[in-house]
Amino acid sequence: MTPLLWSLFLVPLVGVAVLTGVPVILMVERRGSAWLQRRTGPNRVGPFGLLQPMADAIKMVFKEENQPARASKFLFIFAPVLAILPPIVGFSMIPIAQPFTINGESFAVQIVKSDLSFLFLLAITSLHVFAVLIAGWASNNKFSLMGALRAGSQMISYEVAIGLCLVSLVVSYGTLNLSEIVTLQGAGSRLAFWGFFMQPLVFLIMWVSVFAECNRLPFDLPEGETELVAGYHTEYSGLKFGLFFLGEYAAMYLASALMATVFLGGYNIPFVSPDQLVSFVEGLGLYGDQATWVASALSAVSFAAKVFFFMFVFVWVRWTLPRFRYDQLVGLGWKVLLPLATINLIGTMIFSFLQKGAY
C-alpha cells in the first residue's frame, strides 16, 4: 500500500461519502423544516419516510428534459457539470481523519497533501461562479440571466470577504496547509488553539459569507422563487436540475467541512490530542497499526459530527431568517463584512508581530 495507491483508493471513498451525505441532509432538511414549523414532513415513503430522498433521486433521473430554443446546446449541458465539479474537487484538500500507520509507514487521510491546500480550496470555490453564469446565459431567458448575474455578483463579493478571512487565518496559523492547521489546533489538549477561539470575528464573517457562497437562504436571492421563479436553473429539469441541486448541497458540505477543519479543530476530538487518542485506544487492547486505524476512525467520526453540526445550522437558518433585498445583500458584503475582515486582518498582523517578533 503506497501513499499514491492509498490516495487513489481514498478518492472514490470521499466521493461516495459526500454523495451519500446529500440525501441524508435532504431528509434532515425536509423533516427538520417540518419539525420547525410544527408539521410532520414526508413520512410515507419507506419507514418514517427515510426513502423519500431516494424517491426524489429516481424522479430526478427519469424526468423528461427539454432544451430551450436557440440556447447554445454545449453550454446548456456543460453548466450543471461545472456546478457539481468544484465542491467535489474541493474535498480533496480537506484532512478527514487522523493519519494512521501501516507497518510503520504513516498515511494521511487527505487526498492532496499540498501546503497550499487552503488557498487551493478558495480557488476551486471561485470556479463555482462560472457554473451559475453559464447556466443563466445558456437558458436564454431574461429572468434566468438576471438571476445568474445577481448570483454572480453576490458570490464574487462574498468571495472577497472569504479571501480576507483566509489571509488573517493564515497570518495567525502561519501556514496554508490544512492538515498542519488541524494538527496545530489539536496540539494541546486545550481548546485555546481552535480557530473558533483564536479568531472569533473571522469565524463569524466566514460563517455569514459561506452562506452567501452557497446561495443559502438569507442570501438565496438568485433562486428567489417569488421574483425569479428558480433563478438561473429555471429552464433545467430532470437530471441537469438534479446535478445543480447536488452541486449546491455538495458546496454546502464543502463549506461546513472547511469551517469544521479551520475553526473547530478538524478531526480532533475536543480536549483529546491525537496521541492521547491513540494511547486511549491502546488502552482498549489494540496495539500497533490497528490502534492508529481505530483512532483515525474515531477522529473521522468526530469530524463527521462537526460537519453535520454545521449542515444542521444551514438548514436551521434557512427556515428562520427572511430573504435579504439585493442591495442589502451586496451592501452587507462590501460595507460590513469587508471592512470588518480588513480590520481583523490588521489586528491579527499587529498581534502576530508583537507575539512572534519579526521573521
The residues that touch another protein, with contacts defined as CB under 8 A, are 72, 75, 114-116, 119-120, 122-124, 126-127, 129-130, 133-134, 136-137, 145, 148-149, 152-153, 156, 159, 176
Site of grid cell 481505530: 294
**Is the CB of 123 or the CB of 192 nearer to another protein?**
123
Cell of 315: 438548514
**Is the CB of 33 or the CB of 114 nearer to another protein?**
114
Cell of 262: 479551520
**Is the CB of 119 or the CB of 239 nearer to another protein?**
119
What is the CA 62 to chain-centroid distance, rounded?
Answer: 28
Minimal distance in Å, beta carbon 210 to another protein?
17
Closest CA to 83 of 249, 252, 301, 243: 243
Minimal distance in Å, beta carbon 128 to another protein?
9
Site of grid cell 457539481: 84
**Is the CB of 138 or the CB of 307 nearer to another protein?**
138
Residue 70, by phi and psi: left (phi above 0), alpha (psi -120 to 50) or beta?
Answer: left
**Is the CB of 193 or the CB of 232 nearer to another protein?**
232
Asked if 313 and 36 touch (Cβ cutoff 8 Å), the reply is no
**Is the CB of 130 or the CB of 207 nearer to another protein?**
130
Q: d(Cα 275, Cα 331) in Å, to the nearest integer?
A: 46
Minimal distance in Å, beta carbon 194 to another protein?
25
Q: Give me the helices (H) in the chain, please.
A: 3-36, 52-62, 73-91, 117-138, 142-173, 178-186, 195-198, 200-213, 225-228, 238-263, 274-283, 288-318, 326-331, 338-356
Minimal distance in Å, beta carbon 251 to another protein?
15
Minimal distance in Å, beta carbon 359 to another protein?
8
Minimal distance in Å, beta carbon 129 to another protein?
5
Minimal distance in Å, beta carbon 112 to another protein?
10
Q: Using the 8-state DSSP alphabet, how is residue 336 labeled? A: I
What are residue 108's phi and psi, to 5 degrees? -85, 140
**Is the CB of 145 or the CB of 221 nearer to another protein?**
145
